[in-house]
Structure 1
Amino acid sequence: MTHVLLEIHTSALAGMVNGPRQFARWAALAADEDHPDANLSEETFREHIAQGDEELKTLWKRHLTTWDFAESPAWSPDTAPHTDARRTAVYDRLRLGPDLRKALDCAAPVARVQSPTVITAEYIPWYTPERASARSFYWTAYERKLRAKGWPDEAVASLDEASRAVVERLCDPEQEAARQAKGLVVGYVQSGKTANFTGVTAKAIDAGYRLVIVLGGTLNLLRAQTQRRLDMELIGQENILRGADPADVDTLVGVDYVGDGDADWPHFVRHGARPSTLGAFDIERLTTRDKDYVRLAQGIRALAFDEKRDTNRPLYDPVNLHHAAARVLVVKKNKAVLTKLVKDLKQIHSILGEIPTLIIDDESDQASVNTSDPKKWQKDSTDRTAINGLLSQLLGLLPRAQYVGYTATPFANVFVDPADAEDIFPSDFLISLPRPQGYMGVQDFHDLDSPVPFEDRTYADSQEKAHVRGIYDPEDGSTDDRLQEAMDAFVLSGALKLFRTAHGVPEAPFRHHTMLVHESVKQDDHAELALRLNTMWHEAGYTSPTGHTRLAHLWQTDFAPVSAARAPVLPSPTSYDDLRPYISRARQLIGSGGRPVVVVNGDSDRYFDQLDLDFDRTPNVWKILVGGTKLSRGFTVEGLTITYYRRTTQAADTLMQMGRWFGFRPNYRDLVRLYIGREESFGRSKSVDLYEAFEAVCQEEETFRARLSVYAELVDGKPQVTPAEIPPLVSQQLPWLKPSARNKMFNAELVEERTPGRFVEPTAHPTEPAALAHNTRLWLPLLEGCSSDQEQFTYYDAANDRTYRMSALLNVVNPGSLMPVLEGLRWEHKEPFAPNLHYLRSLAARPDLLKDWLVIAPQHAGRRSLAASIDGSRPLAISRRERRAGRGPLFGYISDPKHRATATRIAGGGTPTNDSATERLVTPGRGVVLIYPVIDRDTTITRGTLDASQVAVVFSVIAPANALPTPTGLLHFRAKDSSKGATVSVGH
């Protein structure tokens, strides 16, 4: 019966190509001829689902997930994707009963995932669901491949949604008018951007794009990785073999991947025959795994598209377009290679205007951006750097070319001059991809806004405690670094992977096991470090009692408790004796070939070919990798488990790209360790905390994404702003760390940032005593004006089931009383607060938007509370705050996380609470200022008094939640526009 039921359900659901329909009717139609006596009752259906019929559950989960993710479907245009409302609409159309709905919800819960954030110019919709489903040969093959690789339905549906968001904003390949679209897709470091642009490529060529140029890195190793990925998962075996018989050796001479072993071919997509014989079209590769684009007559002919069915019609005419083969090139961002391609295209110029072309630029902020200084250009001309100039030529030669850049660090791209029509500014769309499921990113290494006091954090609730270790051990006071401990952790984690494999965990995630040591960009330093590591390896004594004692201690004090807290369901040794047999095997794998350490710093492709670091072609890479720049962008270090990182840089986007420890760590997240520099010297007089620097930069990245999501909301069905109108949205927290390289930051200046209902916490307070005294005396009248009695507030945190309390002094002041204080403050760096001050200044003149400010001065209770009189003031609560090492004068945080919810609610944000004190103060047009007089850790309070020069009055300000000067837009900014020779104001 199970087989019959599955057959009927499969047939019925397959017929619902335009959305869910009444299931009972479609199932009856499917059963009518072959299984007229089948039991199609809802009770039978529910029983099979409840009893764990996996095939039936998988079938329904796939279809329900597809409907959950559908974007504005005609059958339910008013429900948002992956929401309960959408699922209810699906069930209603299927006409399923409540019991069956509950069973299906248990078997296939609604995926709570984010959709891509899209900032877009207006465009003409053309990529309709009907058109997408009518031509989906390569997308269907790619989707099938992803499922075979073990991708869950939610991940496939999310990729479908994200890739569609890109393709639908390209131009219609069949349209008569030649038009280009340029866009930028922002992912996370090592988060699967290649999967997205492979999906985009599949859908684009299905839709009619016939020339695809993928710019795949600056080294052949990176280019070859991208080529192999496209060959394996999209292009497929039949297109690679081009009619050759895989069983006939004589026909395979010179064919890619032959000789890599028969085991490789099953991993390649198979279409069943040449796609052109199946009613689709073939793909011709103009580059191969081992060969970049070469300038040959054959290459020119391949680009000529001489297979038109109707020579009197252009290639983009549907009669010709959907029968022509697609051409795919994966090329390096290399001047010589791109010059050859440009020259060949010029020789077939007569047809270039007819070719719908897609240009994918991987790591688009590297090499592609024009970094020449406009101040040095001759009048009325633009000087371009080599790769940028060649990209400009490609776009000029191909009037139907669509340019899509991909990066995890978009700062340089959004700084491109939007007025330069020949450049790569994403004028048509900017898409931020959601954080994928299973991804291990900054949130998994930093305790961002954790409400748990640092001293109370555990392996279970602290990412830092679980995964992050300093370069030096803070407990023993030794100046010796922990490189030996990091190496021990590498051996130990390798043994734990082998233990898990032996106890039923799939072996695939543990194929490669690597450690990354990244200290410097200098090759001499790499050689010296590799020598030290090799010596350390041979003296580690991993087969001796001393070595085992050291590993046993590390396992007992670090790995065992972390794994117990983070991965309790995975197999774990009960004692070190259970793990000991696997230590020997891990040591053998790491030391195979007599080379446990591999230096990765060469400049040539030949150098990389000698390293055996092709993670696709090498069966097992268990090595310690030492390097610098070559390991910091594009190069995916597979199986990375232990990282020892000390390298500094002065560009935030470069720093982010160095986070190779971000990525997917299936079945070994708990084993990942990051040894990172804390409070180390940098240059002559600076000290940096690399861990805090990563936290600051990645918080800015998340803020960038969050702001984009605000501007992505449509107003009256139209975009609030286009990409050309969006400011860089990039701020700088660390005085030594710029958002991007200086030569990439010529064209944008943020003037105003509107933040209704959001915390603004300036951190660059001065350190010079006179400036501190000046600021403190500006604030004292507002503090002195506070009520004599303390107000008691409570806030219930439902997520953590905890109630927080705050005692505070209050003072209601008019806008005219606060602005002189804010305007008169002195700063170590005034630029970060200037856009917010501009906004607050504009609110002060709008009594319809801003009625008053509530000053809240939190007070303390308990044994550790501090209070003091400042310059003879009434006693005030004093807090201690640290200026974080590496941040110069910057404080790490301002407001107490426990106070934020109350302050936000009073400013009109959030949802109503059950606290009468809070709700009594909620008034339309009221903003909130949280004030904390703070001192450094080593400042002494003498007889209950402090001098104003000893105190930094730090504050957070929240404008009223409804305080928007205009109904659209949250920003007022100036953008340098070379076409106008002046500034452009947007938002007023």
Structure 2
Amino acid sequence: MSDYSSIKYDEKRNVIRNLKEKGRDWNYIATYGRNNDEELQESLDFMFEMGTFNYKISAEEWKGIVREQKEIEERAKEVVMVSGGVEQGSLEVPKHERSAWQMYIEKLRSQKWSPDAINELENSTLAILRKISQDTSETGPRKGLMIGHVQSGKTASMAGLMAMAADHGWNMFIVLSGIIENLRLQTENRLIGDLTYKTGNLSWRALNNLSKRSPLSVRTQSLSFDLNSRDRYFTVCLKNKTRLENLIKWLYEDKHKLAQMKILIIDDEADQAGINTSDIDTQDRTAINSRIIKLVEGIGKDKAGAMNYISYTATPYANVLNEAGPGTLYPKDFIGLLPTSTEYFGPKQIFGVEDSEYQGLNIIRRIGDEEIQEINEMQKQIRDYRMTPALEEAICWFLCAVSMMRNNGYQKPISMLIHTSHLTGVHGEIADMISTWLKSKTDKEIIALCKKVFEREEYQFTVNDLFDSFKGYSVKRDQINGYPKFEEIITEIIELKNQVSHIRLGDDESLEYHNGIHLCIDNCRFNGVDDENNFVRLAYPEKNRLERMDKAPVFMVIGGNTLSRGLTLEGLVSTYFLRVGKQADTLMQMGRWFGYRHGYELYPRIWMTEDTREKFVFLATLEEELRDDLQTFRDGGASPEEYGLRIKNSPKLSWLRITNANRSQGAIATDWDFSGTSNQTVVFDLDPTILKRNIKVTENLLNGLPHPEESPLNKSLVWKNVDFEMLRVKFFSQYTVSKNATALKDMDVFCEWYEKVKNEIGFTGWSVIVGGTREGEKWNIGGKAIGKITRAIKSNNAKNTISIGVLRAPADLYADFTKEDLQKAEISANSKLEISNSAVNFKREQVGLDKTPQLIIYRIDKSKNNEIAEDIIGISVVVPGAKTGKSYAKRLTIDLDRFVVGTGTDVEE
């Protein structure tokens, strides 16, 4: 088949593009509206005579060019991309064998990439390329966002885009790479390996730590950016205030060279560090954000010939909820999805998605509450570390999995992750404890422990389970390595157990690897070599060294923040994961276990708490809904400037914020689901005016209700079947929640939601409960007296604000039960009361109160806390779960009418 990608066909492609813009279909264009090839040839010859073409072309060639352009357009449409519609339609896949793109593809083939995976990458890369611009001198910078998965190969897409763009004339590439130097180096080395070839058409050069003080040989005036140059340059820059400032000065040192630059900025992990966390209603900006904007928008009238900014992330919540409009990094031109390989193990595959065929792989093992408490106590004291049951299982499984993979001939690094704390002091203690435990066990004891775990695991997750749970996994069943007989791996287990150490440093300062376990501590505290000449951090063997090793090297990695984002753990088969973030983007980025598992699909296991597993299920569901929305917006022809991306944020999971509040300042709520939620105020403003007003609002409500009953369980005051409209008017619309609270701040939205769904869900009248004590100063309400409560102050979260930890007493969740209800639910004054939503809902359903919401009120006594000038009214709102099967998800979207113009003033982060 002929190659029609050459620039000599550009004139013909321009004619084709003009015909498409006029609404002509592909059949018309292929024949140019003529009846046969003879008439078509006459028309093509006429265009040559008229000067439209600078050389003659045959009818066969014309049809070939049209056919290729049609295929390119159809492939690009397969990529989900919400955009403003501006494209460079003539750009196409470079075909020359020495082009940067084709040489990159050849490298991927050598790495055993499948043809389908390469085609997906090619299509998505072309789609992105056609959204960026080769000349922004008049229009201003092009801005886009590409959403991938954690550990899914975003770097492959970035390298591919750089290669294809370089073939089309872009000549300066800037990769913004996180805030950790070793991750920056990882990215830089990866790009050098992916892009630099001795035999290519282009000459690539990596530039590092650029500034006006750089050697003359790498200053802009010494580099070649003219149209005929084959030179291409890239730099990987930390999101660091000084480095970004130096890079900007380097770019603007020679304005003539700047005008020749066609720049592509790729913001890797774009939700990290570069988000503006200052108040977006002011002109102030965080230091890094302001410099990235300066880098993209330019300084004054001096502009690059082309400026394109593309952010890449797996967790785009901050990027699309932070701020929009001119002078921001909002992806105004396009938001797209990177394709997901059918061989990728992601959140959907591992954890499952609510109400879908994906129910997750049976590879999650539970860490019990007692063990969590035990480890937390050890870490709090940073002493007396001892092995715990689930950690012991995870280590034994690691020994089994490594031995199986070696038995199967696996030659790449194999890893275990232990992630219990961000505290660097803890990591060394955990490492010492594990090393001591392994040494204390005899070979016979370890074999017995491993065998017990092995026999359980080979039964619980089989090849059939894999294909039943991972719909569409494209690796053939007969290529999946199964479980050998346990006796076949005993020798490997013993060898691993008996050689545990850090990576040794040789006399020539080279890293020395052995056939046992390399115990690595990866955090900022262990940056060098210890007193015994050990290299403590994680360092996998380089490719040439790895090829000379007789067995796959093994690494047990303990760490904190460096393991939470960006760092790839190769061959990860066992994970012990305790540390949990409060934000969706942070938690998802901790998932080092996502990725490709060729050759060991059956072996990965993850030990975590049930609570954490449920959070990942929610996040997997969130991610799928986000992708569905993008598909809908694309099909509807929406652009990011016209329609802000919506993100589910269900208050059913009150522990979670989609992203930090100051990273989502442009967010507005569009619809919510409060069913099944139980929230309480634990953060309070100390402004006496607010406190007094809340007391007055509360007393006005309660004194306006009929005579209360006393709870037979704990003597709390109870009003039953209270009309919601009275609560809305007299309380919810007037009670003030602290602006620093994470729950119950959106009372107006809650009231709107409740009115819409109360009949559909079938809510009854409310129970209003005043909880208190039998002793202490009394609060007289409705002709009854109840004792005020006391609560210890846990922290001062902000100026004139306090936090109390827990407000609600467990018994008050059952305070509206009658004596008969309590008997039926088997609850007494001496009962240990369940307070989980599921347990409370079950008990309330037993007695017919499963559709009765509760407003629980407490008055905190000021006399017991010197910091409090007035009594504090705290509340809890409990809404039963709806059983309609319908989802009422709160969604957040960017407020597109609210924006900040200009780069403003720097604010330190």
* TM-score, normalisation: structure 1: 0.59
| 2:539 is aligned with 1:633 | no
Specify the alignment match of 2:629 in structure 1: 707
Q: Which stretches in structure 1 are left out of the alignment for 5+ residues?
A: 1-11, 23-69, 83-114, 239-272, 308-314, 453-460, 502-506, 679-688, 754-759, 780-815, 845-851, 858-869, 873-877, 880-887, 893-933, 962-969, 982-988
2:280–2:900: 8 Å Cα contact kept in structure 1?
Answer: no
Specify the alignment match of 1:743 in structure 2: 662
Residue 435 (structure 1) shift: 2.7
Question: Structure 1 counterpart of 2:676, which letter?
Answer: T
For residues 565 and 178 of structure 1, the distance between their equivalents in structure 2, rounded to whole angstroms, comes to 55
Name the CA shift for 1:976/1:720 in 2 (closer, same or farther; >3 Å).
closer
Specify the alignment match of 2:204 in structure 1: 283
Residue 234 (structure 1) shift: 1.8
Show CA shifts across 1:521-550 (max 9, x none): 111211221221111121233xx2222122
| 2:249 is aligned with 1:343 | yes
Local SS of the residue matching 2:623: helix
**Percentage of pairs with the same residue:** 21
Show CA shifts across 1:736-759 (max 9, x none): 322222331222212347xxxxxx
Specify the alignment match of 2:314 in structure 1: 408
Question: Structure 2 counterpart of 1:468, which letter?
Answer: R
For residues 662 and 425 of structure 1, the distance between their equivalents in structure 2, rounded to whole angstroms, comes to 28
2:352–2:360: 8 Å Cα contact kept in structure 1?
Answer: yes
Quick check: 562-571 or 333-342, which moved more? 562-571
| 2:373 is aligned with 1:491 | no
Specify the alignment match of 1:422 in structure 2: 327
Which of 144, 154, 173 aligns to 2:116? It is 154
For residues 765 and 694 of structure 1, the distance between their equivalents in structure 2, rounded to whole angstroms, comes to 20
Show CA shifts across 1:182-220 (max 9, x none): 111111111110011111111111111111111223233
Show CA shifts across 1:127-185 (max 9, x none): 42557558981111111211221111111111111112221111124x76463111111
1:517–1:645: 8 Å Cα contact kept in structure 2?
Answer: yes
Local SS of the residue matching 1:367: coil
Which of 528, 549, 559 aligns to 2:429? It is 528
Question: Structure 2 counterpart of 1:741, which letter?
Answer: N
Local SS of the residue matching 1:763: coil
2:140–2:297: 8 Å Cα contact kept in structure 1?
Answer: no
Local SS of the residue matching 2:602: helix
Name the CA shift for 1:179/1:953 in 2 (closer, same or farther; >3 Å).
closer
2:267–2:311: 8 Å Cα contact kept in structure 1?
Answer: yes
For residues 960 and 587 of structure 1, the distance between their equivalents in structure 2, rounded to whole angstroms, comes to 50
For residues 75 and 373 of structure 1, the distance between their equivalents in structure 2, rounded to whole angstroms, comes to 47
For residues 846 and 93 of structure 2, the distance between their equivalents in structure 1, rounded to whole angstroms, comes to 73
For residues 500 and 159 of structure 2, the distance between their equivalents in structure 1, rounded to whole angstroms, comes to 33
| 2:81 is aligned with 1:118 | yes
Name the CA shift for 1:176/1:704 in 2 (closer, same or farther; >3 Å).
closer
Specify the alignment match of 2:38 in structure 1: none
1:515–1:624: 8 Å Cα contact kept in structure 2?
Answer: yes
Show CA shifts across 1:568-612 (max 9, x none): 744545532222233234446765668742111126865797635
For residues 567 and 525 of structure 2, the distance between their equivalents in structure 1, rounded to whole angstroms, comes to 14
| 2:178 is aligned with 1:217 | yes
Which of 560, 563, 578 aligns to 1:646? It is 578
Give me the CA root mean square deviation: 4.9
Within a 5 Å distance, the mapping from 1:823-842 to structure 2 comes to: none
Residue 628 (structure 1) shift: 0.8
Residue 700 (structure 1) shift: 2.2
Name the CA shift for 1:517/1:775 in 2 (closer, same or farther; >3 Å).
farther
For residues 120 and 156 of structure 2, the distance between their equivalents in structure 1, rounded to whole angstroms, comes to 11
1:776–1:953: 8 Å Cα contact kept in structure 2?
Answer: no
Quick check: 384-393 or 618-627, which moved more? 384-393
Residue 488 (structure 1) shift: 0.5
| 2:451 is aligned with 1:549 | no
Residue 337 (structure 1) shift: 2.8
Within a 5 Å distance, the mapping from 1:822-901 to structure 2 comes to: none
| 2:549 is aligned with 1:623 | no
Name the CA shift for 1:147/1:734 in 2 (closer, same or farther; >3 Å).
same
Within a 5 Å distance, the mapping from 1:747-786 to structure 2 comes to: 747-752=666-671, 762-764=675-677
For residues 172 and 482 of structure 1, the distance between their equivalents in structure 2, rounded to whole angstroms, comes to 56
Within a 5 Å distance, the mapping from 1:11-410 to structure 2 comes to: 12=1, 74-75=69-70, 115-123=78-86, 125-128=87-90, 130=92, 137-173=99-135, 177=138, 179-236=140-197, 238=198, 273=199, 275=200, 280-287=201-208, 292-293=209-210, 296=213, 298-299=215-216, 302-304=219-221, 307=224, 320-374=226-280, 381-386=283-288, 388-393=290-295, 395-397=297-299, 398-399=303-304, 400-410=306-316
Specify the alignment match of 2:866 in structure 1: none
2:144–2:310: 8 Å Cα contact kept in structure 1?
Answer: yes
Specify the alignment match of 2:489 in structure 1: 579
For residues 527 and 334 of structure 1, the distance between their equivalents in structure 2, rounded to whole angstroms, comes to 28
Name the CA shift for 1:957/1:720 in 2 (closer, same or farther; >3 Å).
farther
For residues 105 and 344 of structure 2, the distance between their equivalents in structure 1, rounded to whole angstroms, comes to 20
Specify the alignment match of 2:56 in structure 1: none
Residue 493 (structure 1) shift: 0.7
For residues 853 and 830 of structure 1, the distance between their equivalents in structure 2, rounded to whole angstroms, comes to 23
2:277–2:662: 8 Å Cα contact kept in structure 1?
Answer: yes
Higher relative contact order (CA 8 A, sep 6+): 2
Local SS of the residue matching 1:671: coil
1:469–1:673: 8 Å Cα contact kept in structure 2?
Answer: no
For residues 627 and 831 of structure 1, the distance between their equivalents in structure 2, rounded to whole angstroms, comes to 36
2:648–2:892: 8 Å Cα contact kept in structure 1?
Answer: no
Specify the alignment match of 1:611 in structure 2: 537
Residue 231 (structure 1) shift: 1.6
1:370–1:744: 8 Å Cα contact kept in structure 2?
Answer: yes
Local SS of the residue matching 1:700: helix
Residue 624 (structure 1) shift: 1.2
Show CA shifts across 1:475-522 (max 9, x none): xx9995411111111101111111222xxxxx3xx5111111111111
| 2:339 is aligned with 1:434 | yes
Residue 832 (structure 1) shift: 8.3
2:644–2:893: 8 Å Cα contact kept in structure 1?
Answer: no
Name the CA shift for 1:839/1:73 in 2 (closer, same or farther; >3 Å).
farther
Name the CA shift for 1:387/1:748 in 2 (closer, same or farther; >3 Å).
closer
Name the CA shift for 1:366/1:772 in 2 (closer, same or farther; >3 Å).
farther
* TM-score, normalisation: structure 2: 0.63
2:667–2:893: 8 Å Cα contact kept in structure 1?
Answer: no
For residues 97 and 107 of structure 2, the distance between their equivalents in structure 1, rounded to whole angstroms, comes to 18
Question: Structure 2 counterpart of 1:470, which letter?
Answer: I
Name the CA shift for 1:580/1:364 in 2 (closer, same or farther; >3 Å).
same
Question: Structure 2 counterpart of 1:642, which letter?
Answer: S
Question: Structure 2 counterpart of 1:406, which letter?
Answer: Y
Local SS of the residue matching 2:308: strand
Question: Structure 1 counterpart of 2:841, which letter?
Answer: D
Residue 631 (structure 1) shift: 0.8
For residues 448 and 191 of structure 2, the distance between their equivalents in structure 1, rounded to whole angstroms, comes to 47
